[in-house]
Amino acid sequence: MWRWIRQLAAGFRQGGGPGAGVPDLAGRPPVRRRKTYSGDSGYVYEYYYEGYRVAARGGSAGAEYLFTVSSDRRSWFAVSVFLEDSAVAAWEQAHGRELNMTERYAVVKMALFEAFDQRDHPSRMRRGVTIRRESIGPLLEALGID
């Protein structure tokens, strides 16, 4: 038990550790669950969903979904998936209905998994992921959402 406490304290001092430095977010799960994803890149990622917040990035409004990720169980870092409002609006207009919150979260996770598959090294995950107009359709189609 003491080993776990020392590791947790060290993670917080270094800005790491699951959930370290993550502000209060909407949609934060009451119980954090560690999940695993084996990427086509050859890395096995563990991650926690931390929640989301309204944000702006590069002049675009949207929602930023935050995950805490590790590829080695020792170092943890934040990964942001930014869902542009314009992408959601374009899809909704084309399909004549709104995307509900569950569907939005599903497309965010698909984008995260796609990044795990395509990025050749975990350090490239720190750049974050952005879901734009051209990428939301294929992600939702892969989920069978129309």
pLDDT attached to residue 13:
41
CB 70 within 8 A of CB 76: yes
Q: pTM for this one? A: 0.81
Confidence of residue 17 (pLDDT cuts 50, 70, 90): low
CB 68 within 8 A of CB 18: yes
pLDDT attached to residue 68:
95
pLDDT attached to residue 58:
84
pLDDT attached to residue 29:
87
Contacts of 14 (CB under 8 A, 6+ apart): none
Tell me the pLDDT tens digit for each residue of 68-99.
999 999 999 999 999 999 999 999 999 999 99
**Whole-angstrom Cα distance, residue 85 to residue 82?**
9
The beta strand positions in the chain, using DSSP E, are 35-38, 44-57, 60-70, 77-84, 129-131
pLDDT attached to residue 18:
53
- Mean pLDDT over 121-130 rounds to 91
Q: Which residues of 21-39 are buried (b: 16+ CB within 10 A; e: fewer)?
A: eeeeeeeeeeeeeeeeeeb
